[in-house]
Structure 1
Amino acid sequence: MKHEFPQDFWWGAATSGPQSEGRFNKKHRSVFDYWYDIEPEAFFDRVGPNVASNFYNSFREDLKMMKSIGFNSFRTSIQWTRLIKDFETAEVEADAVRFYNEMIDECIANGMIPVINLHHFDLPIELYEKYGGWESKHVVELFAKYSRVCFDLFGDRVKHWTTFNEPIVIVQGEYINQFHYPNLIDGKKAVQVSYNLNLASAKSIEQFRLSENSKDGKIGIVLNLTPAYPRSNSKEDLAASDFANKFHNRMFLDPAVLGYFPEGLAEIFIKDGVMWQYTEEELELIKNNTIDFLGVNFYQPLRVKAVEHEFDESKNGWLPDKYYEYYEMPGRRVNPHKNWEIYPEAMYDIAINIRDNYKNIPWYVSENGMGVYGEEKFKDENGMILDDYRIEFVTEHLEFLHKGIQEGSNCFGYHLWTPIDCWSWMNAYRNRYGFISLDLATQIKTIKKSGYWFKAVSENNGF
C-alpha cells in the first residue's frame, strides 16, 4: 500500500543546542553543565556536554549531510546560556549572535526550514541558585525578555518557533523523579513550576506577537504526549488514567491550545494543599496567548491502574503518584535498550485526539525515535550501521500517523530524534538515535542505512 503524505510535508529531525553544540565559547553554565562539573560520575561513561557532536564548529558540514539525506526542515534550540551575557538585562554575547546567525543562514541555504526552540532543559544555573529557577516568577519574566531578544535578532529568517521542549519533563526530572538537577522530590514545588512554565510560554508568545519580525511567523510548543491508557474499564482504573492524563499531558496541552487548565485539576490541587499561586491577570494572559501550531514528541505510552498500595505522604509529601500506579501490559513489545514499550498505535490515537479535542490545530511529530545501545555491532563491511530496527520502528509509526491524517488530523510533518547521534543528559551517548552515526573519539560522522532509507521516503513524500 502506498502511504502518501500531504503536500509540503516536513521531513527532517530534531536536536537541541545543549545536546549538539558543545560548550565552546559559552560563558554561562546550564543546570546540566553545572551538574556534570560537580558530579561527572552521574553521567554514562563520565561523558558530559563539553564537546557533544561539535555542532558549534561543524554545523556547515553537518547541515549539508542532513540535506543529503532528504531533510527539508530541521529543529534545534538556542541556548539561553550561550546567547545572553547578562540575564537581567538580556544583553547578548556577540559570538553567540554570530554563531546562530551563521547556522540559521546555512540551514536556509541548504533548503531546510529552521525550526527554533527556546528552551530545552537548559536553565542557567545562576537563575536556579539565585531565584530557584522555574519556581520563580522573576525567572518567567527573564525568559520572556530572552525570548524577545531571539525574535528580534533572528525572526526575519526564522518563521517557526517553539517556546519549550517537553516542559513536563522539567517538572518530572527536577521535582519528582530525580533525573535532572537539582534532583528534588517536592510535589508542591512541581505543581508551581508547572504553572510557571505555562505562564512563561504564554509570555514568550506575547513577546513574539509584539516583535516586528514575527508578523509572518508562527509560534508553538513541543510537548511529549504519553497517552495514559487504563488497565481496564473499571471505574477506578479510568479515574487513574484520567488524572495521569491531566497531570502528564493536559496540564500543558490544554493551556497551550485552549487557553485554560483541564477541568478538575485545580480542585484536586486545592483539596490536597498544593495549589499553585496565580493571579487572574496571569490566567487572562495564558488565555490570550495560545499557540499557532503544536509539536508532538512521542516515544512510548503511559499505562496506569488504580492505586493498589497505600500512598505514604509522610515519606515524600504530596506526589501525583497518589492517584495512579504504573502498569506493565502483559505481552507488550519493548525496546530492550530503554525498556520502553513500542506502541505505534498511539500515534493514531494522538492524531485523533488533537483533531477532536484540540481544534484540529496544525501539528507535527517533532520527535519520535529508537535509542539503541552498541549500534557499532551492526556494521557492514564498508562500516555502515545497518539499523533495520530503526527503519521498521519509523515505518510503523508513520503508518499509524498516515491513518490519522487520512481521517482528517491536521499533521504537517515528521521529525526523527535525532539527525546525528547526540549527547543525551545522564545517558550521554549510551543509546544512539540518529540517522547519522558519530564516532566520539574522532568526531567522524557516517550516514546509517536508515538515513539513506529516509532520503527515499522524503523524495517520494511517502513510502
Structure 2
Amino acid sequence: MKKFPTNFWWGAATSGPQSEGRFAKKHANMFDYWYEIEPEAFYNQVGPDTASNFYNSFREDIALMKKVGLNSVRTSIQWSRLIDDLEANTVNPAAVDFYNQVIDCFIENGIRPIITLHHFDLPVELYHKYGGWESRHVVDLFVGFAEQAFRLFGDRVKDWTTHNEPMVVVDGEYLYQFHYPNLVDGKKAVQVAYNLNLASAKAIAKYRALGLDKDGGRIGIVLNLTPTYAASESAADQEAARFAELWNNKMFLEPAIHGHFPAELEDVLRRDNVIWQTAEEDKEIFKRNTVDFLGVNFYHPNRVKAPDIAPNSVGDWLPTRYFDDYQMPGRRMNIDKGWEIYPKAVYDIAINIRDNYKNIPGYISENGMGVSREERFLDESGQIQDDYRIDFIKEHLEWLHKGIEEGSNCFGYHLWTPIDCWSWTNAYRNRYGFISNDIHTQIKTIKKSGQWFKTVTTQNGLS
C-alpha cells in the first residue's frame, strides 16, 4: 500500500462558469458574451447558459461528490454573479444566498470548499470599457470584489486562491486566439501578465488586512505548470527551453512565491521594448504579499526546440520567437485531446518546488484526461467503464507519491473534474469527470473511475 499523508486532500475541481449555468446572472463574463455573438465558435454550438445546471442541482450534485469519496472540492465564485454594481462593488443578494447555500452544503457533506476568485470569468463590461486586465483600474475593482467575497464567506471558507491559470488568460486572449477577444498582441500580453500578478498580490494584501489569516485561513494561487523539456542537449535547444520556462512558468511562480519577477525575463522584455508599465509602490506589494500555498494544474509536458527563425527577426513581438514546440517521436498520447501523457512530470514539478520554491505547501489542483464519446464505454448497467482514466490517475499518483517520499510538501490531489462540465469552446466534446452528465436530461451517473476513487480515498492510498 502506498499511503499518502494524513488529512490528504482527495478531491476534484470545477468552476462557476463551467458548472453553474448563466441562471440569474446580471452580468455576462467574457465567454457568455462570446457565445452571444459567435455561437458557432463553440463545439456543437453548446454554450454556458445551462452548463451542468449546478445553480439548480447543487444539493444533488454535492451528494454525488460525497458518494465518490471527495473530502475537498475547488470551485469559484463568479465575479459576474456576485457583484451587482461593478464600479461600486455592491453585491447581488440572490448571489450571496446561492453561494452561502453551496458553501454550507459542502461543509454539511464533509467536503472542504476551496474557493477561487478568478476562473476566466472577467465581466465583459470591464473589458469593453477599460480593456479588462490591461487596466490597473480593473485590478483594483477585482480587489474590491475579492474583499466582498472574503467578508461574506471567509468565516467558513479557509482556503482561497486568487487566480486559476492566469497564464491561460495571457495566451488565450492576447497571443494564440483561443479566448475572446482573440487578439495577437505581445506587448498587451506582457502588461496583462504583470497586472494579473499584481491583482493576486493586492487581493492577498486585502485578505490579510481583514485578519482572515489569523483564524486558520490561507490564500494561494493556482498555476498551470508545464515543465519544459528541451528536444536535445544542444546549446540552442537548451536556450529555447530556458526562455520557455521563464515565460510559461516562472513569470507567475517567481512573484507568487519569491515576491519578484525573474530578472532574466525582465532583461529580455526590456531589450525587446515590450516591458510592462509599473508603479513605484508595486515592488513592495509583491514582496510583502506572497502566497501561503500553491495549486498546480498539470495535464501535459511542454517540449520545445530552438526556433526555426532567428529571435531578432523583424515583426510583431511574440514569446515564440525564442522557442518552437517540439513533438517528441514515440510520445504517448491522449489522441482525443491531442495532449501527450507524461506522468513523471508531476514528480519533476514536486522536486522543482521543493528545491527552488521554498518547498511551499502545495497540491495538484487539477489533473485529468478528456475523452470524447464516452458512451462508447457504457456497460449493460449504463455505467461508463473508464479504465483509461483510472490508469491515468494511478500513474500520476504513483509519481506524486514518489515526490512526497523525497520530501515534497504536497498535501492533496484533485482531478479535473467531479462532474462532466462545460469546457469553453470545447463545450462537452471531451469529458473529464468522475460523474457523467447527460446534458439533454441533466441526469448524472457515477463512472467506474468514481467508484474506484472512493476506494482510494477510504484507504488514503494506492494498493
Normalised TM-score (structure 2):
0.98
Counterparts of 1:283 and 1:167, CA distance in 2: 20
Alignment correspondent of 1:144:
143
Query: Which residues of 2 match residues 287-302 of structure 1 at below 5 A?
Result: 287-302=287-302
How far 1:20 sits from its partner (Å)?
Answer: 0.1
Point out where structure 2 has 5 or more consecutive residues left out of the alignment.
Answer: none
Task: Write the deviation string for residues 286-315 of structure 1: whole angstroms up to 9, x where unpaired.
Answer: 111000000000000000011123469655
User: What do the CA deviations read for 1:123-169 (whole angstroms, capped 9, x no partner)?
Assistant: 10000000000000000000011101100000000000000000000
AA partner of residue 243 (structure 1): F
In the aligned structure 2, how far is the partner of 1:81 from the partner of 1:254? 29
- The residue that corresponds to 2:20 in the other structure is 21
| Secondary structure in structure 2 of the residue aligned to 1:294 | strand
Q: CA deviation at 1:101?
A: 0.3
Q: Which residue of 1 aligns with 2:262?
A: 262
Deviations for 1:216-261, whole angstroms, at most 9, x for unmatched residues? 2000000000011111111111110010001000100110011011
| Equivalent position amino acid for 1:207 in 2 | K
1:214 Cα offset (Å): 4.2
Matched, 1:38 2:37: yes
The correspondence of residues 412-423 of structure 1 with structure 2, limited to 5 A, is 412-423=411-422
Corresponding position of 1:399: 398
Distance 1:353 1:208 in 2: 28
Which whole-Å deviations, capped at 9, do the CAs of 1:402-430 have from their partners, x for residues lacking one? Answer: 00000000000000000000000000000
Letter of the structure 1 residue corresponding to residue 140 of structure 2: E
Deviations 1:312-342 (A, max 9, x none): 9655x10001100110111100000111000
Q: Could you tell me which residue of structure 1 aligns to residue 423 of structure 2?
A: 424
Q: Does 1:362 align with 2:352?
A: no
**Distance (Å, rounded) in 2 between the aligned partners of 1:187 and 1:71:** 41
Cα contact 1:28–1:81 (8 A) shared by 2: yes
Partners of 1:162 and 1:313 lie apart in 2 by 39
Q: Deviations over 1:9-63 (max 9, x none)?
A: 0001000000000000001000100000000000000000000000001000101
Between the aligned partners of 2:98 and 2:141, the Cα distance in structure 1 is: 22
- Per-residue CA deviations over 1:60-113 (Å, capped at 9, x if unaligned) read 010111011111000000000000001111100000000000000000000011
Aligned residue runs from structure 1 range 5-404, under 5 A: 5-216=4-215, 217-310=217-310, 317-404=316-403
Q: Distance in 2 between matches of 1:212 and 1:356?
A: 31
Report the Cα distance in structure 2 between the residues aligned to 1:30 and 1:313, rounded to whole angstroms: 37
Q: Distance in 2 between matches of 1:311 and 1:434?
A: 41
Following TM superposition, by how much is the alpha carbon of 1:119 offset from its aligned partner in structure 2, in angstroms?
Answer: 0.3
Q: Which runs of 4+ in 1 moved over 4 A?
A: 310-315
**Structure 1 residues 459, 388: closer, same or farther in 2, change over 3 A?**
same
The answer (yes or no) to whether the contact 2:309–2:321 under 8 Å persists in 1 is no
SS at match of 1:53: coil
2 CA distance for matches of 1:333 and 1:88?
49
The code of the aligned residue for 1:434 comes to G
Q: Read off the aligned partner of 2:101 and give its amino acid letter.
A: E
In the alignment, is the contact (CA less than 8 A) between 2:30 and 2:122 conserved in 1? yes
The amino acid of 1:28's aligned partner reads H
Q: Which amino acid aligns with 2:125?
A: E
What is the letter of the counterpart of residue 10 of structure 1?
W
SS at match of 1:245: helix
Amino acid at match of 1:433: Y
Distance 1:450 1:378 in 2: 12
Number of aligned residue pairs: 461
TM-score normalised by structure 1 residue count:
0.98
Structure 1 alignment gaps of length 5 or more:
none
- Contact 2:15–2:74, Cα closer than 8 Å, also in 1: yes
In structure 2, distance between residues paired with 1:89 and 1:403:
49
Q: CA deviation at 1:280?
A: 3.0
**What's the CA shift for 1:392?**
0.2
Specify the SS of the correspondent of 1:215. Answer: helix
Instruction: Tell me how far 1:462 sits from its aligned partner.
Output: 0.6
Give RMSD over aligned pairs.
0.9
Q: Give yes or no for contact 1:152–1:212 (8 Å, CA) kept in 2.
A: no
Paired-residue identity, %: 66
Partner of 2:459: 460
Contact 2:4/2:461 (CA < 8 Å) preserved in 1? Answer: yes
Q: What's the counterpart of residue 440 of structure 2?
A: 441
Contact 1:151 1:214 (8 Å CA) reproduced: no
Secondary structure, aligned partner of 2:84: strand
Contact 1:303 1:327 in 2 (8 A): yes
Relative distance call for 1:88 and 1:238 in structure 2 (3 A) is same
The 1-side partners of 2:213 and 2:47 are apart by: 35
